Chain A
């Protein structure tokens, strides 16, 4: 048992939350100095499992062995003392404090009751230089990018001399370059003898980093595999429980006439002279690096912000959109990027969320028609087939993928929809739900809607789009059709401009 091949071993862990078994007799073995990927759909129990390891949750049953010795963590402090540190997708930092303060939060260097600022900053800088960070210990945390904040969190883990570092979806909000930087840091950690547990929905993360992968499904342990011995299809099958034959069910739709057109749209500081057009049944992909201005263009179209110049046409008629409700009245529906802060009201039931944009249409005079609302909400939720039992379940009780499906239902419920704009529709969504969302998009295209999909994920851009617009630094740098598009081509278009800018600056 105490054979020291495994630095961390968990056996028969069961965790019960009111009403549900979040983990059902799962096991996990982490080798010394390995990078171990933990994969599974949203809601499979990965996060709960991590919280059991870090002492946030106490498991009802099961054993946990650290270096062969059984341990019982009463709280996160015990875990951190034992050398386990976790870095979350959204760093839980103190934005108004300095980087050094964040790194040493909870274990400040204290002498005679006074914080030793100089020493703390020096040690923080040492840790940061180890990670090749491009910022200083005295910088304010809130001014850093998400990637830099994660780096700080990793530095924090190192400052406690962690032997095991857990990374929970660290690449979800990073750009390709930033991800590359993170890979480098994680590999360095491994080379320094740290064992790493890596949770991610991105297969490329796993292939790039991990040597072994453990899969959870429906709160259960499915298996542990060597990354170089398992095929992509087998892994997806293990995660989803069924075979996904066609990840991108792009239907063969005859493209109709032009429905939606943007001409010369500009907003100072965000984007300039953006023009594009979408036809009936067409899926237009908009891609580019994070911060290229894709979201900002669509927000201006939908009345979230005001553009300085430019025209928007729907069926040849010029539109005047001043606020989101104007866009909705015209049938332009936006599915915002951030489900929890823009797309849904998490404390509300699913039904109320679905009917919020149309409550006035359904109302009898001033009064809400609750019965009609509930029926409509149920019908649309059933159409997108999500995991809820009742339309009164709060949206916060669903996993990311299922929340996204509720957002889709909310859009579908608006029966005057003509143009649908999806902003990063599969961000943080597991592979099974992804396939379902693509299928819904295919259905919508078949029905003749004009579809715009903003995405940073190359496979879905290439897999789903008829036409691809690439943006860079607020300008459209290219428009490719399905046949001529390739990963290299898109990447070069999304970088081209920034290189030119750099040259100009030099």
Chain B
């Protein structure tokens, strides 16, 4: 179909295998294969059964990674999620210990998370000129403060009627329930971000808030939804954590926000907004979980694991810059 100029504009995108491999997600995919070979070589107990058995304690956090990716794509950040997890876990124990049935306990936990997220969202959208880092720094302290006040002098609470929360730590065959939940969440969140109008709006806001607003995108509504989703998933994380720890204490969920943000950034999502996708973040999350399992199996000091992950993160952030540099040089050579 030619325009009045008699010239036709191309509307089909070329997909090349080479491009796919050279993309960040492609590189991560190769990295995860190499990592598995590496893990298997250093740890004799690195088997599927063992991995599935040790996985659950790392998986609950991953639930927060999906909506955190939304927040980062928006160009926002939320560092209060670790505290939300703590508050949710605490409240779950209190609700259950007060004699509530299982279903009420579950819903109560998710509701606490959702409300925390909605509070973040309400403040962030009511005062859009405030940096989200500062807002959520404030709520981070507030939420953990409320949890600590509720926990009292002992600083911990245990989940009395463990039968109620057992179903969550169960396995279906060899596969833990939490992995199913993670996979379902992964599919939904990935598809919404990549294929749905809401995802497109998130990218639009993160790329240029003002242009998105002029184009009719309801910027503050989208931000509110993203914060609320993150609160809800923090609630889910808190619920699973309680199921595995049979209780909560003042350090529950500590540092989760940074680990989750690290997974997203490692997965190629820019904290400046508008860039990256969940495929990359999911692979990155898997890499970190598998690395932890393997390093845990050979009894490596857990602090050392943190050092390794930190170093990987910095390298990951550096590589795209180096890549772009190389690409520009190659193009220049071709042009000559």
Contacts and interface: CB of A to CB of B under 8 A. Distances in A.
Given A324-B213, A366-B198, A382 B13 contact: no
Contacts of B207: 345, 347-348
A385 B5 CA distance: 6
Contacts of B9: 378, 381-382, 388-391
Interface residues of A, number: 46
Interface string A342-370: 11111110011000110110010011100
Interface in B1-52: 1-5, 7-13
A351 B11 contact: yes
Interface stretch (A15-23, A44-52, A139-147, A182-190): A15-23
Contacts of B196: 363, 366-368
B11 A325 contact: no
B208 A345 contact: yes
B146 interface: no
Contacts of B3: 379, 381-383, 385
Interface in A375-408: 375, 377-379, 381-383, 385, 388-392
A369 to B, nearest CB: 10
Given A356-B204, A367-B195, A375 B210 contact: no
A374 B1 CA distance: 13
B211 A342 contact: yes
B197 A368 contact: yes
A405 to B, nearest CB: 12
Most A CB within 10 A of own CB, among B2, B196, B334 = B196
B210 A16 contact: no
Interface in B167-225: 192, 195-198, 200, 204, 207-208, 210-218
B163 interface: no
A377 B335 contact: no
B211 A378 contact: no
Given A324-B216, A347-B207, A392-B13, 7 more contacts: A18-B328, A18-B331, A351-B11, A356-B217, A368-B195, A375-B11, A377-B11
A447 to B, nearest CB: 15
A328 interface: yes
B311 interface: no
A427 to B, nearest CB: 16
Contacts of A324: 213-216
Interface residues of B, number: 37
B318 to A, nearest CB: 21
Given A60-B336, A341-B208, A389-B9, A357 B215 contact: yes
Contacts of B274: 347
A489 B89 CA distance: 73
Interface of B: 1-5, 7-13, 192, 195-198, 200, 204, 207-208, 210-218, 274, 328, 331-332, 334-336
Interface in A257-284: none
A359 B200 contact: yes
Contact of A385 (B4, B197, B334): B4
Interface of A: 16-20, 60, 304, 323-325, 328, 334, 336, 341-348, 351-352, 356-357, 359-360, 363, 366-368, 374-375, 377-379, 381-383, 385, 388-392, 410
12 contacts: A18-B332, A304-B213, A323-B218, A325-B216, A342-B211, A347-B207, A348-B207, A351-B11, A359-B197, A367-B195, A382-B4, A389-B9
B211 to A, nearest CB: 5
Contacts of B13: 392
Contacts of B192: 366
B4 A378 contact: no
Contacts of A359: 197, 200
Given A325-B216, A359-B200, A375-B11, A342 B210 contact: yes
A336 B214 contact: yes
Contact of A346 (B7, B12, B204, B208): B208
B216 A328 contact: yes
Given A356-B204, A366-B196, A334 B214 contact: yes
Contacts of A348: 204, 207
In the A-B complex, the 5 residue pairs with the closest CB atoms: A382-B3, A18-B331, A325-B216, A390-B10, A378-B11
A366 B200 CA distance: 11
A304 B209 CA distance: 13
A119 B109 CA distance: 66
Nearest to A19: B335
Contacts of B218: 323, 325
Contacts of B204: 345, 348, 356
Given A359-B197, A382-B4, A392-B13, A345 B331 contact: no
B169 to A, nearest CB: 33
B200 A356 contact: yes
A432 to B, nearest CB: 13
Nearest to A388: B9
A97 B196 CA distance: 45
A341 B207 CA distance: 10
Contacts of A391: 9-11
B208 to A, nearest CB: 5
